[in-house]
Amino acid sequence: MLSFRRRFSADHRDRDFPPAVERVDLHGRLRSAAWPPLCANCCAPATSKLIVKKIFRRQPGGRYLGHGWKYVIRSARIPYCPTCMARNADIVAAERMPFLELIVRLVATPLVIPFVGGAIVARVFLPDTITKPIGDPLHNAGLAIAAAMLLAMGTSAWGSWHATSFHLVPAENEITSACTFSDELGDLFTGWHRAYAFRNREFAQAFISVNRERLWTKADTVRTGNIRFATGLLLLVALIVGRLLLVHS
């Protein structure tokens, strides 16, 4: 059944974690985390890893300076046992977007206008590009215009696919919800870290064991607060000094 009103869900930082979970924060990027050889859902021995994708919404410029949300897709390779992998595959297959809906989403967008327009203009100038000798003004002009139109078509096609790709990310289900992760937390000055949430306490402890050197501690939280306070204080002083210089200039 087609569903052209399909919506995707997006988390914001670490604010959408379920309440009853085991949370672990680690230094570094998502790919730097180590994973124990256990299934994240049932703690059985894991034979392979499942690529779990999540959509995050970000507000460029922060809460007060931001203008609209930006959406990104991030993925992690999380270990699962064959039984849980098979169950997840069945759930994802049942919820997969029909091919006809995918095609409609790709073409039913304003981005198709520059694609079609670029194809028409490129077709008009293609004969001069082919028939005229190299160096002829018509050949050079036709080649430049055709190249520009092909670039416009490629950009339009990429934009259409990028917008549709968010609808192709599988929704969190009974298997993948056993282990979830946040968007990047922190910043360039305080250091990057990420939060991980686990439904299975045994797996959470195993995850902590293999990532002890990367754990984000209370001391890191205090240090981050101090850095942000000092940064804010310096900014305030700079604004005051700038104002005084402006008044007395």
- Same domain flag for 97 and 190: yes
Which residue, 142, 166, 190, sits at the end of a domain? Answer: 166
Which residue, 143, 166, 189, sits at the end of a domain? Answer: 166
In this prediction, residue 64 carries a pLDDT of 47
38 or 152: which carries more pLDDT confidence? 38
In this prediction, residue 4 carries a pLDDT of 46
Q: How confident is the model at residue 1 (pLDDT cuts 50, 70, 90)?
A: very low
- 113: in domain: yes
pLDDT beyond 60 at 96? yes
In this prediction, residue 61 carries a pLDDT of 58
C-alpha torsion sign, points 161, 164, 168, 172: positive
- 30: in domain: yes
CA atoms within 13 A on the CB side of 231: 10
- 175: in domain: yes
- Same domain flag for 31 and 128: no
50 or 134: which carries more pLDDT confidence? 50
- 61: in domain: yes
- Same domain flag for 141 and 204: no
- Same domain flag for 187 and 202: yes
- 177: in domain: yes
Strands (E), 126-241: 179-181, 185-187, 191-198
Mean pLDDT of the chain: 83
Which residue, 146, 166, 186, sits at the end of a domain? Answer: 166
- Same domain flag for 63 and 82: yes
In this prediction, residue 180 carries a pLDDT of 92
- Same domain flag for 176 and 88: yes
219 or 78: which carries more pLDDT confidence? 78
Q: Which domain holds residue 151?
A: 109-166
Coil, helix or strand at residue 197 = strand
- Total tally of structural domains belonging to the chain: 2
- 81: in domain: yes
- 88: in domain: yes
In this prediction, residue 34 carries a pLDDT of 95
- Same domain flag for 157 and 185: no
The structure's pTM equals 0.73
